Amino acid sequence: MNIKKIIINFIPRIFFFLGILNFGPIGFAQGMLGTSKTDSLSQRLSQTLHDTDRVNTLNALYGEYIYSEPQKALEYAQQALQLAEKTDWKKGIGNSLHAIGHYYLTQGDYPNTLDYWLKALRTREVLNDRKSIAATYGIIGIVYRRQGNYSDALKHYFEALKMDKDLGNKNGMARHLGNIGSVYFEQDNYSDALKHYFEALKIQRELGDKKGIAINLGNIGNVYLEHGNYSDALKHYFEALKIDKELGNKSEIASKIGNIGNVYHEQGNYPDALKHYFEALEMVKKLGNKNGIAINLGNIGSLYTATGQFKDAMAYLDSALMLSTELGALSHQKDHHSHTSQLYDTLAQIAISKNLTAKAADHYRLAYTHYKKYSAAKDTLFNEEKSKKIGGLEAQHEWQMDALEKEKLEAGRRKLEAEAMKRRDMIQYTGIVLVLAILMLALLNSRRLLARFPERINVSRKGAKAQRFIAINKRYIAMALLFATIFLSFETVLIFFDAEIEAFTQNKVLYKTLVSCLFAGTVSIVYFFSEKRMAMTLGFNFKHKEYEFKHKEHEGGTKGTKFFNLFLVGISVLVLSWQNKTDSLKAELGKEMEDTTRVNTLNAIAKEYIRSSPDTSLLYAEQALTEAQNSEWQKGIANSHHSIGYANYVQGNYELCLFHWEKCLEIRKKQNDKQYIAVALGNIGSVYSEQGNYPVALKYHFEYLKMAKEIEIKKYQAIALGNIGTVYNDQGNYPDAMKYYFEALEINKELRDKRGMAVCLGNIGSVYHFQGNYPNALKNYFEALEIDKELRNKNGIAIKLGNIGLVYYDQGNYPDALKHCFKALEINKELENNNGIAIKLGNIGSIYTTTGRFKKAEAYLDSAIALCDTIGYLLGKKDFEYATTHLYDTLAQIAIRNEQWANAAENYRLAYTHYKKYDTAKDTLFNEEKSKEIGKLETRHEMAIAEFERKKKEEQEAETARIEKEREDKIGYSLVLVGFFGILALVLLLSRLTLPLSLIQIFTTMPFLLLFETAIVFMNPYIEAFVENAPAWKLAANFALALMIFPLHEWAEHLLKRVFRRKLRKKEESPKD
């Protein structure tokens, strides 16, 4: 008995109502009154209230009456909506629409529920009320879930959970977690369901939310019931029931009573089960809950089947089906069809035992019919596309939640880092100010400090060299102290406003240099006037004619600055390939050769035979493996495993194939040979695809494609794309299949790879075939066939012949269909390709069914199914079980027309049996978990590709920006260099003239100022990276750079001064006219 859908249906209602409590009118009422009791609310309503208070109170009364007197509750909500619309109070309108939608949910009227809640959502979006928007997303998800639209339900739940998590709304988070758990429960994903239920329960216990606690206790009980843990299920149900009774929540009381009945039903305690079912039924009838009525009618009908009360069972199940169909509750229809099918199957077996063959035939027909309806409803609820969509949504949600957590962690890290840097900068700036204060004090007291050193010191005195140096260089010491103070002051300002300067100059070298020169020019002017002032204070005479003689031995000691240039060298790659023919390879085996060469030759021969003679290929490959293992050559062992696996793949021996290819992959990974790892991944994916294990197949194919793109081998990309297309084709996802096939075909055409082109053309033909586009299907098949014939590819020829035969079959051209299928069968037998043999046997059996040759059809189909079972070809088994169902269904209808009741009963029984086998195979291939996994893989792959493309684009943009920046920087540095030499040339020209010393100082300062600031701008990124943008260390680095350039500037200045003074002296000494 399928209990799952019966025990879940009341649960979402209360989860929704928690939304009303938190975001709707009840929340207002509680805020106003401090109580939610009906009497106090009614009394308040009779008072003179503001319109907004009256709307809140009416909606609060709705909340109190909805589970006891639903019609009265609706009247209160409608009055609230009218008053809110009259006063145009948007928040009240949203809350009232919310309440009315909830009323229709309790009545099972999903279209009206969705209509009112979508209106509520639009109203709340206008208000930008994120808390209420999140709640509305959650409740809309409930409607979609009840309609069996799980993908849209999860989409809304995930969106609501994300918003409430962002808002820190724990109540909302608990509600959404529980609802997500219920979706997983309905999909048989009990582990994820339990995980979400416990998460929700934990939050609700923290919040002291009794209603939520009761709901999740019931939900957890449901999971335990499905697991057969009846004691824990009852424990949780009774605990939840106790809370619901305390709260007077009649709807949930009915739900728990019904679920307790389910436990007794499963335990075989039918009297107690029936008692609880009827009690629950009476309660939901009083509440007018059609959804609950349908569930309990179905439960009672199922129980009557188990107790042999077949007439009552039939009546209750028919009523349940009728009401579920009226409500559009597909999940309930599915369960009721399943129970009805079981009922008629039981009746058919009883009729057979009593030799009532006509009744048996009719009951088997009804069992078969209801089972097909059950299967159709199940496929609608859990079809491949929906499940993949759900898996994709889960992957996207996981990615979003992970990104949200990472963003929060990163924001926290950045905040802590910023605070740490702020503290560091504050300490360092304090240190800098302290150093500047000390320098300033030293300047102010420089006369006193320098006076302590005697004017002349005896050079011969032992240990007096340092003192002598200081005494002779008093001027330099004083000027250096002055320069350090002024430089550090201005450079500190420059570093402090570094970010603003970068923004202002747009980080362009020329502009930054000009701004820096402006600052440095200010430094020079201040230094020039400060130097004169200090010279006067300390008694230095810069115009003294003998000054240079006094210090002659100390001038001109600074060396010039050297410049270095760095250059990069490019590399080139050479790709070699070779191919030999079979005869020459065999001839090589007779010669003396290295072990490695022998292994390679054996594997090359195996490759040549792979399509024409797989057995021969296998012999050579096994010989190669033995040789490689004897010589312990790992690469050769891997190659040989690959060859053996390939031979087994062609023959349909998938387990042996997988064994050898996984061994091959293991060795390739150890060798880190990406090219061969990619090949191995693709090969293994193809085996899983043939076995119908599509999630694993896609996982390997997507990894293959990703690696093929990384190593930039287009041939591998084409193969991977084709393989992915084949998986989608097998799943009936023709648009995606065609997309990948055409991408693969384009690459193969570009590479002129005929074998690859033939494969792609055949695959495209198969999609056209499935879509009913027979002319295009035949065109592609025949084009592919010609290429395969040209290449002598027997396996490809067999596949194309078989496919052409199927097109003729669908066109009603049965003679040509059989002709091509038999040709294909012969080639496959010659190649010992079991997979191909099974397919062709089944196809021939289907053609014989259509042409009325039933005995032959039965024989061929039985052989096809037996071979599929042997080789583990599940996809073929599914198709041929369905074809066999069609055969026996046809025979049963013929027997009915001929009134051969015994034959009819037997054939309907066989049709029913084979249909269930087909359904089982289909579920194994396309079950929920696998489909969701495929959806997750696809979404993760798409996100990974999108992320890869985004990063690649960012890298390209960054590289373009870097090149552009380098170009701009080169232009900027060139202009600065031109400026430097231009100013230097101007200074040299001016040196011919007789100028005042002040102008000499300015002209000598300008080129070195430009040189210094250019050096600062050039070195700044490296300095920032090295010192981690610490202001003190940046200042120290800049000062060190200045100290390197300052002596050069001083030397040039004194050189020019001597030149000017010499000219001045000559002028003074020359005779006057």
DSSP line for 265-325 = HHTT-HHHHHHHHHHHHHHHHHHT-HHHHHHHHHHHHHHHHHTT-HHHHHHHHHHHHHHHH
Answer yes or no: is pLDDT of 608 > 90.
Answer: no
What does the alpha-carbon distance between residue 1018 and residue 516 come to, in Å, rounded to a whole number?
Answer: 12
Band of pLDDT at residue 710, cut at 50, 70 and 90: confident
What residues contact residue 664 under an 8 Å CB cut-off, 6+ apart? 638, 639, 641, 642, 645, 680, 683
Interval 218-228 mean pLDDT: 91
Answer yes or no: is pLDDT of 926 > 70.
Answer: no
Neighbours of 537 (CB within 10 A): 13
Q: Regarding the domain delimited by 582-672, which CATH topology (the fold level of the hierarchy) does it fall under?
A: 1.25.40
Band of pLDDT at residue 1055, cut at 50, 70 and 90: low
Does the domain at 289-383 match CATH 1.25.40? Answer given as yes
Answer yes or no: is pLDDT of 310 > 60.
Answer: yes
Could you tell me how many residues make up the chain? 1073
Answer yes or no: is pLDDT of 577 > 60.
Answer: no
Answer yes or no: is pLDDT of 1065 > 80.
Answer: no
Answer yes or no: is pLDDT of 715 > 80.
Answer: yes
- Residue 812 to residues 773, 809, 818, Cα–Cα distance (Å): 14, 5, 11
Of the candidates 77, 134, 71, 70, the one whose C-alpha atom is nearest the C-alpha of residue 100 is 77
**11-149+159-169 and 582-672 in the same fold:** yes
Indicate the CATH number for domain 732-832. 1.25.40.10
Answer yes or no: is pLDDT of 545 > 50.
Answer: no
- Here the contacts of 715-720 (C-beta below 8 Å, separation 24 or greater) are 715/747, 715/751, 715/753, 715/756, 716/675, 716/678, 716/679, 716/682, 717/747, 718/743, 718/744, 718/745, 718/747, 718/748, 718/751, 718/753, 718/756, 718/760, 719/682, 719/744, 719/756, 720/682
Give the lowest-confidence range in 306-315, 439-448, 556-565: 556-565
Say if CB 197 and CB 178 are below 8 A apart: yes
What does the alpha-carbon distance between residue 930 and residue 111 come to, in Å, rounded to a whole number?
Answer: 32
Answer yes or no: is pLDDT of 764 > 50.
Answer: yes
Interval 659-674 mean pLDDT: 89
11-149+159-169 sits in which CATH class? mainly alpha
Q: Tokens for 951?
A: 């990063």
pLDDT at 860: 95
What does the alpha-carbon distance between residue 769 and residue 779 come to, in Å, rounded to a whole number?
Answer: 11
Sign of the CA dihedral running 764, 769, 772, 778: positive
pLDDT tens figures, 724-741:
998 888 878 889 999 999
What does the alpha-carbon distance between residue 725 and residue 694 come to, in Å, rounded to a whole number?
Answer: 12
What does the alpha-carbon distance between residue 872 and residue 409 come to, in Å, rounded to a whole number?
Answer: 49
What does the alpha-carbon distance between residue 344 and residue 346 come to, in Å, rounded to a whole number?
Answer: 5
Say if CB 248 and CB 239 are below 8 A apart: no
Q: What percent of the chain has a predicted confidence (pLDDT) above 70? A: 74
So where are the chain's domains?
A: 11-149+159-169, 289-383, 582-672, 732-832, 833-925
pLDDT tens figures, 976-1021:
667 767 766 776 666 666 666 566 666 666 666 666 666 766 777 7
What does the alpha-carbon distance between residue 108 and residue 765 come to, in Å, rounded to a whole number?
Answer: 47
pLDDT at 198: 94
Band of pLDDT at residue 535, cut at 50, 70 and 90: low
pLDDT at 571: 28
pLDDT at 5: 34
pLDDT tens figures, 405-441:
677 677 777 777 777 777 777 777 777 788 878 877 7
Average pLDDT of the chain, as a whole number: 79
Give the lowest-confidence range in 128-132, 188-192, 571-575: 571-575
Question: Which pTM value belongs to this model?
Answer: 0.52
What does the alpha-carbon distance between residue 1042 and residue 480 come to, in Å, rounded to a whole number?
Answer: 11
pLDDT at 526: 73
User: What amino acid is encoded at 494 in this protein?
Assistant: L
877 vs 453, residue with greater confidence: 877
Band of pLDDT at residue 568, cut at 50, 70 and 90: very low
Answer yes or no: is pLDDT of 314 > 90.
Answer: yes
What does the alpha-carbon distance between residue 924 and residue 786 come to, in Å, rounded to a whole number?
Answer: 37
pLDDT at 1073: 45
Greatest Cα pair distance, the chain, in angstroms, is: 156
Give the lowest-confidence range in 107-111, 712-716, 937-941: 937-941
pLDDT tens figures, 812-838:
999 999 999 999 999 999 888 888 999
What does the alpha-carbon distance between residue 696 and residue 703 come to, in Å, rounded to a whole number?
Answer: 11
Say if CB 984 and CB 1044 are below 8 A apart: no
Q: Residue 722, class by beta-carbon neighbours within 10 Å (0-12 exposed, 13-18 middle, 19+ buried)?
A: buried
